[in-house]
Structure 1
Amino acid sequence: MNVGDEKVFSEQREKFAQVAALIDTATEIVICAHTNPDGDALGSGLALAQLISQHWEGKHVTNLLADNDPVPRLYRFLPGADSFVRASSYEGDPDLFIIVDLSVASRLNQAQAVLERSAHVAILDHHPSTMPFGDVALIRPDAAAAGVIIAEFALAMGATITPDIANCLFCAIVTDTGRFQYQNADSEAFECASMLVDAGASPSLISLNVYQSFRLAYLHLESVVMGRIVTFEHGRIAYSYATRKDLERTGALPDECDGLIDVVRSVEGSELALFLKETPDGLIRGNLRSKGDHDISGVARAFGGGGHKAASGFTTDMGIDATLAAVLPLMRAVLAAGPGESPAPIARQLSLNIDREA
């Protein structure tokens, strides 16, 4: 949040008060983020659960996983990571369902059923949303991470940020800013990170676990992905992929692939990057990145996904080759639209073409 933006600050403060009021009247509370959770989703959810448990008496808080997959290996060091419950096995009827790092119900996957039987819903998110829902929806696309919003909620409540909470939130911010390398690494993110370190967060602990603890199997997969990188449009677009057979051959785990988009993104001269991963069940998960002012989110939306201008994702069942054939023209359209211009009309037209050809 920009210093001096009193209107935004006032609106956020009002939303925080509304979320707090929902927590006040709730006993059974669940917190859940999007399917295939990343460091921001997991860290923010864990921090919020601990915050509620320590600041409000008599609350039973459960962190849900939207999928049946376990917590990704790189994030199992986070305090409370072993407390997650799969949404498919949760049978309660919550008084309050808090969604973090997400504002689209369909991306809750199996947790959507829990959402539908919850008495009240609150959203704390930083992804652009055209159709917010719930009793309270605090959506700040200018925030670098959901972790920033949770940290500011803690401060607004006058809660104590313990070292465990601080580590969860620091992980959330570090991972969503790409170690403070992405375009969203603004002064608010740095100020929040500084505050969290003062509260007991350990940057070295986060770095060791998230960025310096890769299994050899993953590094072998990374070499395969690096060898496959292709560029076109005079090097402005770069892409690569990993198949199910690649994972089987190297022994890498699907949840270890999240950082491979940054390998593709690192190509000199590239402005847009794409990485595709084939999952064990045959689905294709795509990660998209933009280095500059190009808005890549319209490409993800064309395939039912979403995200930010500079970082988005989607899932298809089209196979690697068909997905590449469909996505790459949209990426070319983003370049043609120019920096700062919305490629949405082009993306919508191309998505219609995809639907007709399917």
Structure 2
Amino acid sequence: MQRRILELIEGASSIAISGHTSPDGDALGSVLGLGLSLMKFFPNKDIALLLADDDPVPRIYRFMEGSDRLVPASAYTGNPDLFISVDVPVVERLNNSAEVLRRSAHVVCFDHHPAREEFAELSLRRVEAAACAMIIDRFLDNCGIVARDGVATCLLCGLVTDTGRFQYQNADAAAFHAASRLVAHGADPARVALEVYQSMRVEFLHLKSIVMGRIKTVAHGRVAYSYAYQSDLEACGVTSDECDGLVDVVRSVMGVEVCLFLKGIEGDTKVRGNLRSKGDLNVSEIAAAFGGGGHPAAAGFSNNGTILETLTVALPMLAELVGEDPASVTVEL
């Protein structure tokens, strides 16, 4: 499989690489780690690094080498010989990049999410990998390409963020081994920690305090939830892309097994939801019920409905997941 993917890369004059919509550190780190490595190894190829949305790169990830090379897929007019999808389980998650995929002669996928069906010609899918960045790093190494220094830092950022700073259940021996390899090749873990976790704007901390103040539990304290309205973000002066870590505030409640954080969008007529599990319970099934997906311990979704409407449906499902009576759930805002 890896040899066949390399052959497609070698045979392509033009390549477009994209991660998923609302990109996180793993999607961006994987796009940059793979893209920059291929640019250095194949300097004569036309390689485009795409954003699935029209939004700019989230502030906390702009430190990564090559982040200024990322362009919105809607502005890319090429018909590439090869489209490479990273950290994307379904075409719908590619958003605007899906149109580029459809214009491409060949499609390759690198991913660590479970997939209902494969959409690529060749897919290197490793669901046991803690981050897509690990798959990219191993693929490059097997091809004789070593990601070093700033490029290695991009991949390390993907690994650090998708393991929750190595605090999630997916932080296994392979994840630590991959991190060790990347640091040995010049990745800078202190820079990742500083930029992603230790450079919060005061405005974001004000929003975080609002979210903390709204945390409630149901199902005898086994399910926690909180939320932020779009108006909260506007009042605090916070952009939507800064909210990724708020679900971990809810997750940190003692005794909680699963949690949900909702963020209002489009005038609070829709929501984006983040789900987390502290143990073996599979929250991706809840996300799938809303048309989303992810991993057993970390999943997400979007829903056409208000925060209250979404909580009314989701909280009984979460209560049932932890073995409690869903009819006992009372939603409070």
Give the TM-score band, short-chain normalised: over 0.9
Distance 1:186 1:27 in 2: 38
Cross-structure match for 2:123: 137
Matched, 1:284 2:253: no
Post-superposition shift, 1:336? 2.5
1:64 corresponding residue in structure 2: 50
2:94 counterpart of 1:112:
no
Q: Does the 8 Å CA contact 2:212/2:226 hold for their aligned counterparts?
A: yes
2:323 aligns with: 336
Shift of 1:244: 1.0
Gaps (5+ residues) in structure 1? 1-14, 338-345, 347-358
Name the counterpart of 2:220: 234
1:205 to 2:191 alignment: yes
TM-superposition CA deviations, 1:204-247 (whole Å, max 9, x none): 10000000000000000000000000001111000000001111
Give the one of 284, 289, 297 matched to 1:302. Answer: 289
Residue identity opposite 2:235 in structure 1: R
1:45: how far off? 0.4
Q: Distance in 1 between matches of 2:82 and 2:267?
A: 33
**2:64–2:153 Cα contact (<8 Å) kept:** yes
Q: Is the 8 A contact 2:207 2:236 kept in 1?
A: yes
Aligned partners of 1:333, 1:63: CA distance in 2, in Å? 42
1:320 correspondence with 2:307? yes
Aligned to 1:9: none
Rounded to whole Å, the distance in 2 between the matches of 1:318 and 1:180 is 34
Alignment partner of 2:152 out of 166, 179, 188: 166
Q: Which amino acid aligns with 2:98?
A: Q
Q: Which amino acid aligns with 2:114?
A: P
Q: Which residue of 2 aligns with 1:352?
A: none
Secondary structure of 1:29's match?
strand
1:58 CA drift (Å): 2.0
Residue 113 of structure 2, aligned match among 120, 127, 133? 127
The question of whether the paired residues in 1 share the 8 Å contact of 2:218 and 2:319 is answered with no
The alpha carbon displacement at 1:57 in A equals: 4.2
Q: What is the CA distance between 1:130 and its match in structure 2? A: 2.1
- Deviation of 1:55 (Å): 1.9
Does 1:245 pair with 2:225? no
1:104 Cα deviation from its structure 2 partner? 0.3
Residue 98 (structure 1) aligned with residue 84 (structure 2): yes
Q: Distance in 2 between matches of 1:326 and 1:197?
A: 44
Could you give the per-residue CA deviations for residues 59-81 of structure 1, whole angstroms, max 9, x where no partner exists? Answer: 11111111111000100000000
2:206 aligned residue: 220
Matched, 1:195 2:181: yes
The percent identity for this pair of structures is 52
Equivalent residue pairs, number: 324
SS in 2 for 1:189: helix
Q: CA deviation at 1:267?
A: 0.1
Residue of 146, 151, 157 corresponding to 2:137: 151
Secondary structure class of the residue paired with 2:110: strand
1-side partners of 2:267 and 2:45: how far apart?
38
Q: 1:156 to 1:72 in 2, by over 3 A?
A: same
Q: TM-score, normalised by structure 1?
A: 0.89
Secondary structure of the residue that 2:10 maps to in structure 1? helix
Q: Describe the SS at the equivalent of 2:83.
A: strand
Determine which of 290, 298, 306 is the counterpart of 1:311.
298
Match of 2:329 in 1: none
C-alpha distance in 1 between matches for 2:216 and 2:4: 49
- State the partner residue of 1:4: none
**Greater helix share, structure number:** 1
2:122 partner letter: V
Structure 2 spans left out of the alignment, 5+ residues = 327-333
Counterpart Cα distance in 2 of 1:127 and 1:161: 23
- C-alpha distance in 2, partners of 1:263/1:57? 44
Q: Report the Cα distance in structure 1 between the residues aligned to 2:32 and 2:43, rounded to whole angstroms.
A: 17
Residue in structure 2 matched with residue 40 of structure 1 by the alignment: 26
Select 1:259's aligned residue among 245, 255, 269: 245
Give the whole-Å Cα distance in 1 for the aligned partners of 2:10 and 2:279.
Answer: 43
Which SS does the other structure have where 1:316 is aligned?
strand
Give how far 1:34 is off. Answer: 0.7
**1:190 alignment partner AA:** F
One-letter identity of the residue aligned with 2:230: R
RMSD between aligned alpha carbons? 1.2
**What one-letter code is carried by the residue in structure 2 that aligns with 1:236?**
R
Aligned to 2:280: 293
Moved over 3 A (4+): none
Q: Matched residue of 1:79: which SS?
A: coil
